[in-house]
Amino acid sequence: MPSDPSVRDASVQGPHARGSGARDRHVQGLDALEMAPQRQSDRPTAARVAARVWSATWPKLAAVAIVLAAWQAVVWSGWRPVYVLPGPDQVLPRLLTEISSAEFWEALGVTMRRALTGFALALAVGVALGLAVTRFKPLRVAIGSLITGLQTMPSIVWFPFAMLLYGISESAIMFVIVLGAAPSIAGGLTSGIDYVSPQLLRAGQAMGLRGVQHYTLLIVPAALPMFVTGLKQGWAFAWRSLMAGELLVIINQQNSIGWALSQARQFNDSEGLLAYVLIVLCVGILIDVFFSWADRSIRRRWGVAPS
């Protein structure tokens, strides 16, 4: 190889010291300045982790404290008798006894199994529907707006029909969960695929990506962030449909969260009612935390959100 006479090049063609900062500065132009500086605070130490956990936690603790205080205040105001509206001092111990009982875990198990099966079904239907809609133009024209319409529809209105179709059974609940969640999942997938940047598509074309690789290496990862957003929304709909379903479609003698709620109502057990409401709230929050974490870590990896 002929040696390069340029002065600038002479200075950079020295020994190839890997990652040498001096060399990088030489080679890169002015725009090296736009690179994000390496922040020292990126290195996690025990103290920093503790500080971060605390700063993320205390607003939530404060919110819980405010809600409990307001609740207690309403109870003390005597608006309703205590056997109808018990205070946190009664409900929270009840909650503890509930969650230490075997029946509770059985009920939660049944409900979560339904939720996961229903969500998995909705996922399969939603993905199939979403792919079909993106692949075939006429189908999009025909049912594209229907999918959006279904998304805005309160899924509870399907229950009377579902009970006619399937009787008082789990299938009726599954049917409504799929109708509630699949449109969101399909919608997330189609918009994810629709909004793959044309520049990336062109680059993929120039590199000869086609067939299966076009999907596995480009379309699927590019569509993933929006797909996860669709999943998150789909989960919210599935969970709502399930709770409505367990309250409406009372499958006799089968323990579940919905069953426990309706039992509590029949026995005028307001402490139990509120305890289960809190449990439903907690499950919802936990799953949401999971989806938000997935959403955030994908966006960070993809470089669309600040790290």
* Interface residues toward other proteins, by CB under 8 A: 1-2, 4-6, 8-9, 12, 16, 18-19, 23, 27-36, 197, 199-200, 202-203, 205-209, 213, 217-218, 221-222, 224, 301-304
Nearer to other proteins, 19 or 59 (CB): 19
- The number of C-alpha atoms within 13 Å of 18 and in the hemisphere containing its C-beta is 0
> What is the helix (H) or strand (E) element at residue 251, kind and residue range?
none
**Contact (Cβ atoms closer than 8 angstroms) between residue 186 and residue 133:** yes
Reading the block at residue 72, the tokens are 């207690």
Q: How far is the CB of 230 from other proteins (least distance, A)?
A: 17
Give min distance, CB of 126 to other proteins, in A. Answer: 22
How far apart are CB 306 and other proteins at their closest, in Å? 10
Cα separation, 112 vs 108, in Å, equals 6
Cβ atoms within 10 A of the Cβ of 232, count?
A: 19
**Closest CB to other proteins among 112 and 201?**
201
Q: Which is nearer to other proteins, 196 or 280 (CB)?
A: 196
**Structure letter (DSSP) for residue 151:** H
* 3-class secondary structure, 302: helix
Longest Cα–Cα distance of the chain, Å, equals: 95
Q: Based on CB atoms, which residue is closest to other proteins, 140 or 214?
A: 214
Query: What is the distance between the alpha carbons of residues 186 and 173, in angstroms, rounded to a whole number?
Result: 20
Quote the least distance from Cβ 219 to other proteins, whole Å.
Answer: 11
Minimum distance, C-beta of residue 225 to other proteins, in the bound complex (Å): 9
User: Please, what is the minimum distance in Å from the beta carbon of residue 196 to other proteins?
Assistant: 11
Distance CA 187, CA 144 (A): 9
Q: Which residue pairs, CB below 8 angstroms and at least 24 apart, start in 159-168?
A: 159/244, 159/245, 159/248, 159/249, 162/249, 163/248, 163/249, 168/249, 168/250, 168/251, 168/252
> Residue holding tokens 């003390």?
76
Residue 23 or 265 having the CB closest to other proteins: 23
Judged by beta carbon, residue 88 or residue 221, the one nearer other proteins is: 221
As measured in angstroms, the least distance from the Cβ of 28 to other proteins is 6
Nearer to other proteins, 43 or 286 (CB): 43
CB-based burial, 275-293: b 16+ in 10 Å, e otherwise: bbebbbeebeeebeeebee
Residue with tokens 């309403």: 74
Minimum Å distance from CB 307 to other proteins? 9
Radius of gyration of the chain from its Cα atoms, rounded to whole angstroms:
27
Token output for 256: 């579940």
Residue 210 amino acid letter:
R
Residue 26 or 140 with smaller CB distance to other proteins: 26
Q: How far is Cα 144 from Cα 281, in angstroms, rounded to an integer?
A: 33
